[in-house]
Amino acid sequence: FAILAVEALTMLFWFAGWVALAVFLSNRVCFGHVCDAAKAAAVFGAFEWLLFAATTVMAAMHVFRTRGTGTTKPDPNMEVHQGV
């Protein structure tokens, strides 16, 4: 459960940082390249938060599916083939 907790905490902190940046930029009158870059960072931050949310859901599904099995080994069908 530790990995799931760390993943969820990271997602929460990323969301808080993204909201703080969006609120900060909405209350400012700014122009120029720096302001445009900050606004673009807010948009990319929202997209990255969606990715964090998706990976958190996937981690939660993995934790709850493998709970009680006593093994942390992945499914052999999902293992990466070792190259030469």
What was the pLDDT predicted at 84? 64
> What span, in angstroms and rounded, lies between the C-alpha atoms of 4 and 24?
30
- Report the interhelical angle of 33-66 vs 2-26 (nearest 10°): 160
Block residue for tokens 């958190």: 56
Spell out the per-residue pLDDT of the chain, length 84, in tens. 788 888 899 999 999 999 998 898 887 787 888 888 988 998 998 999 999 899 889 888 888 887 776 666 666 777 777 776
For residue 40, how far is the Cα from the chain centroid? 18
Please name the amino acid found at residue 61. M
**The overall pTM is greater than 0.75:** no
What was the pLDDT predicted at 70? 65
Residue 82 is encoded by which pair of tokens?
Answer: 């070792």
- For residue 51, which of 16, 4, 17, 10 has the smallest C-alpha distance? 10
What was the pLDDT predicted at 47? 93
Please name the amino acid found at residue 33. H
